[in-house]
Amino acid sequence: MLEEQNVVDTSTESGVMFSPIIDAAPTVEKTHVVLGICAMEKKSHSIPMEQILDRIRKTILVQVIIFSEDTILNKPIEDWPSCDAFMSFYSTGFPLSKAIEYADKYQPFLINDLRMQYTLLDRVDVYQTLEEAGIEIPRYAVLRRDGTKTDEKLGLTEEADSIDINGVTFQKPFVEKPLHAEDHRVHIYYPTSAGGGQTQLFRKVKDRSSIFITDSKIRRTGSYIYEEFIRTNGADVKVYSIGPDYAHAEARKSPSLDGKVDRDQYGKEVRFPVMLTATEKAIAKTIAITFRHNVCGFDLLRTKGKMYVCDVNGFSFVKSSPKYFDDAGVLLTSIILENQAPYLINEIPRIVSGHQDKPIKLQQPTININNKSDELRCVIAVMRHGDRNPKQKIKLVISHPRFTELFSKKVNKKNQDSIKLKKPKHLQEFLDLIKEVLNRQEEESVIASKAKELNQMKIVLEMYGKFSGINRKIQMKRQLKKGNQDPNSHSFLLILKWGGELTKTGKAQAEELGRYFRLRYPGDHENYNSILGSGFLRLHSTYRHDLKIYASDEGRVQMTAAAFVKGMLELEGSLPSTLVHLVKCDDDSTSLLDTSSNDNIIMANAKNRLHQVMKTNQIFNDGMIEQLASTRSPSLLAAIKRIGNPYDQCIKVNRRVHSLVKHLEELRESSLEDGRRLEVLEMMIQRWQKLKKDFYDLKSNTFDISKIPDLYDCIKYDIMHNKEYLFKDAAKLHNKSKALADIIIPQEYGITVDEKIRIAQTICNPLLKKIVSDFLHIENNSYAEQECFHLLNPK
């Protein structure tokens, strides 16, 4: 890092002049002012620089001299050209200390303070400067490694989903930035609940700005800032200020979202000018004054009505905006003349009408029907997850002090009766506990009696080789022992669920639906991009579109949401990155989309009556049909007609399940040398053997009607994904189980009209209340006034 030098604060209160002013007034009035450009050739001859300097030259009041790179690097400062105003800034290879020496000796007016550029090269110094100026930044902690201390002695602790640095904890997702601002290798780490992994950012290389890798561990060499990840709906705002009172802002797709750089027809990165709020304009002014930079860029993160500054870039120009070039030409000329020749200010040709970038509300598209103007304010969609593999679960009731200890350790609230374990750390803890108690089965009869189920749980938890919070979870429900009122005497219902993961087909379905959804929005006539549905993408990037994606805590639901938004916004890259950036998954989201305990009571009552009817060994008569199909649903009546005798239909399904298991076992014997084929067959056999065991109870000669949806689910999945392994009667098994499922699945949500309405009300109420609340919020006048700041900048 460059050696920091002493900083002399020579700023004025207004922030316009950042360099010392020579007391002696010139004896002869100047007819023009000389502006020297001192920067590396790539920067001094960039297109934005040339565009702005061309406009400055046209005023005839400022003569521009560009220092050659050879002069800057190889000649002493005494041989550098003389100038009245000095525009100089650091980039890789630039001798900043030499430029400071030149400025100190000849005292030109500095467009940007040179010593302050040392501050900009250290991310910690930047954050500390912003904090002192009262500007909000993300919560952060610093880890400095000098090679003399271990990470433990530096106070670093790394867990699967978090890190702790000297008592400051960051839950994933979090951001890891090198301390040196010129090192752009920024990493973002994702939680296991989102699939884990990390996105690695870097300076743009062709059309890439980041990559996703599956490794979730932080870097163990180097010094870094760690900061909380701010969710911004996948968009960044870059602000470019000229002086303290002018700021131009552009929104772009966040490079961490999918790593693909979207380019227009001219090969430039797609960005959209956006309006800044009054607060954001005040931030731009404060940064310009605090860092003593007349030309300055910084990155702004907008989230939930708040804004955070996450980086100050220093000298930065907008890449392609004729209006900005016009404004910058006039403003820089004004700033230079105000300091060096104020009597020439009135001679500046007016390229633009003013310096202020005032908000102008755009005319919104309207649809005229019967001379009435309507505006589409929002679109609300409620969707189910995509294609998944079969859900499976094991239930076990056990009473043992070690399970009581684990439960007590994990409960968060007093009188809490159930907990869910999904994080890898917690699943590993549960697996370790099962192994521990299984080792005691010879000594403890309680464990011996449950050994079979515990072993099944152990096998499932050891599948895949590693844990992911998305594909397995354990629920522990506390139950008082019958006849025992002692609150400390508990048994636990253990429910291990696995499977139900979104398949490749499911991801493709969701992405395709997202693309279709995007194409429903009217496109615009500007050919800025070759992507179909560009009107919707433009809307999203400008913040006029307040996009919210909610998902429940189910992994398949979260991944469906991520795949959908990936298709809708034409993203590339990993689903974990999309999930973390754009999908809201928390307790509030789950409460909007999940069933409540009240629903469960009504549904349990409906299920009991339904199962009793379906166990009847006779052809459906009028009384049974009335009991089952009081709504007279055509599809329900058709299914009842196909079945005839429900008990007889269950016998036929059961026979075919037995035949399928036998077929799969024979197939396994002939596939012992084919590893991949054997793996698929083992999983199929495991599923179907469990269903075979659970569906029919030989002792009572009864069928478990609740397993029919699982049977249908499994055969449908295998026909779609494992057809080559099935027997000849697979289609018949599918059709017969589907006929039964067509009765059972819809009727589990209420048999009568009144039951269906009551269950629907309790399930949908939280979501509907949220929607109504949002509508009322939109109608609020104060909100409507603020909304103009999220419009496209019309200039």
Residue count of the chain: 795
Angle at 736 between CA 735 and CA 738, to 5 degrees: 65
Q: Which position has the higher pLDDT, 300 or 778?
A: 300
Cβ-based burial of 85 (10 A; exposed 0-12, middle 13-18, buried ≥19): buried
* Res. 738: pLDDT tops 60: yes
Place of tokens 């194409």: 519
Burial 16-51 (b: 16+ CB within 10 A, else e): bbbbeeeeeeeeeeeeebbbbbbbbeebbeeebbeb
Which residue ranges does the chain devote to CATH 3.30.470.20? 120-347
* Res. 754: pLDDT tops 60: yes
The values of phi and psi at residue 616, to 5°, are: -70, 135
pLDDT value at position 748?
Answer: 87
Q: What is the number of other CB atoms lying within 10 angstroms of the CB of residue 780?
A: 10
User: Which DSSP symbol is given to 793?
Assistant: -
Place of tokens 């990993």: 574
Q: Which residues pair with 261 in a beta bridge?
A: none
Contact predicate 777/787, CB 8 Å: no
> Can you tell me the mean pLDDT for 67-91?
96
The C-alpha R_g of the chain, in whole angstroms, comes to: 34
> Can you tell me the mean pLDDT for 679-694?
90
Tell me the C-alpha to C-alpha distance, in Å, between residue 84 and each of 63, 339, 773: 10, 10, 60
pLDDT value at position 257?
Answer: 84
What is the C-alpha separation between 492 and 308, in angstroms, rounded?
Answer: 47
Four-CA torsion 278, 279, 285, 291, nearest 10 degrees: -160
Contact predicate 110/312, CB 8 Å: no
Contact predicate 718/737, CB 8 Å: no
User: 86 falls in which pLDDT band (50, 70, 90)?
Assistant: very high
Query: What proportions of the chain, in percent to the nearest 5, are helix, strand and coil?
Result: 45, 20, 40
What is the C-alpha separation between 258 and 269, in angstroms, rounded?
Answer: 14
> pLDDT tens digits, residue range 660-683?
999 999 999 988 888 788 888 988
In this structure, of 29-43, 452-466, 522-536, 691-705, the range with the lowest mean pLDDT score is: 522-536
What is the C-alpha separation between 368 and 566, in angstroms, rounded?
Answer: 33
Q: Which of 175, 194, 189 is nearest to 562 (CA)?
A: 194
3-state SS assignment for residue 117: helix
Burial 711-735 (b: 16+ CB within 10 A, else e): bbbbbbbbeeebeebbbeebeebbe
What is the C-alpha separation between 544 and 234, in angstroms, rounded?
Answer: 14
Contacts of 12 by beta carbon, 8 Å cutoff, 6+ apart: none
What is the C-alpha separation between 742 and 734, in angstroms, rounded?
Answer: 12
pLDDT value at position 632?
Answer: 87
Tokens standing for residue 471: 């594909």
Tell me the C-alpha to C-alpha distance, in Å, between residue 789 and each of 6, 20, 274, 710, 794: 40, 37, 8, 51, 12
For 19-45, the DSSP string reads S---SSPPSS--S-EEEEEES-HHHHT
Contact predicate 176/218, CB 8 Å: yes
pLDDT value at position 235?
Answer: 81
> pLDDT tens digits, residue range 554-570?
888 999 999 999 998 88
pLDDT value at position 364?
Answer: 32
Sign of CA dihedral 410, 412, 416, 421: negative
What is the C-alpha separation between 729 and 661, in angstroms, rounded?
Answer: 12
CATH of 120-347, one of 3.30.470.20, 3.30.365.10, 3.10.180.10, 3.40.50.1820: 3.30.470.20
In this structure, of 164-173, 446-455, 520-529, 708-717, the range with the lowest mean pLDDT score is: 520-529
Q: Which of 259, 254, 309, 275 is nearest to 128 (CA)?
A: 309
Continuous H helices in 575-724: 575-582, 587-593, 597-614, 622-628, 634-643, 646-669, 675-695, 708-721
- One-letter identity of residue 773: S
Report for 335-349, 369-383, 555-569: range of highest mean pLDDT? 555-569
* Res. 729: pLDDT tops 90: yes
- One-letter identity of residue 370: N
Tell me the C-alpha to C-alpha distance, in Å, between residue 218 and each of 40, 178, 215, 223, 470: 35, 12, 9, 12, 21
Which residue ranges does the chain devote to CATH 3.40.50.11950? 33-118
Burial 232-251 (b: 16+ CB within 10 A, else e): bbbbbbbbbbbbbbbbbbbb
Q: Which CATH architecture has domain 33-118?
A: 3-Layer(aba) Sandwich (3.40)
